[in-house]
Amino acid sequence: MQRGIWITRQVRARVQWTQGVRLRRLEYVLRPLLDAGLDADTIAAELHSWMLTWRPTRPAEYIRVQLAKQVSSEHTADQCEAAEGWNEEEASGALAASRPDLVRSVLDGLAAGLAAYSATQAERGLDDLGDHDAAGDIAEFLSGSTGVPA
């Protein structure tokens, strides 16, 4: 308990717009940060990162609302990742792939995207008006002349 007051006192001294708030009230609204084990420097840096160019009328209430928004946005992001089937391992796989594999993967994706786009354009009657197949030429280029083994 004493640790929280001590940290809060340091934060209040470092963040000018919090200096009018009663110490106990400030400790109460900073409780999520204190419970997370953050020190005075980190909490002060967090409050400064909000880059206020004005002084809130009720600083404690402002801090409470901002921290609640952060928690809510983190929760929403977690829900979106879960709903979309986000897989951290799969997503970072491209970063661990060797360059030839990565280039091949990108080129294969481009070829598939181009084929789908060409098919859509052909259905709309907007396909190539020339006497040769441009999509075929590009697909042939992507599959053979890149210097990357398939």
- Written as six digits, the tokens of 113 are 């995207």
Cβ atoms within 10 Å, residue 58: 12
Per the document, the length of the chain is 150
Would you say the pTM of this structure is higher than 0.85? no
Cβ atoms within 10 Å, residue 118: 19
pLDDT in tens, 10-66: 999 999 999 999 999 999 999 999 999 999 999 999 999 998 889 999 999 999 999
- Give the whole-angstrom CA distance, residue 26 versus residue 50: 17
What is the mean predicted confidence (pLDDT) over 92-121?
77
Q: Is the pLDDT of residue 99 over 90?
A: no
Residue-level pLDDT at 79 = 65
Confidence of residue 71 (pLDDT cuts 50, 70, 90): confident
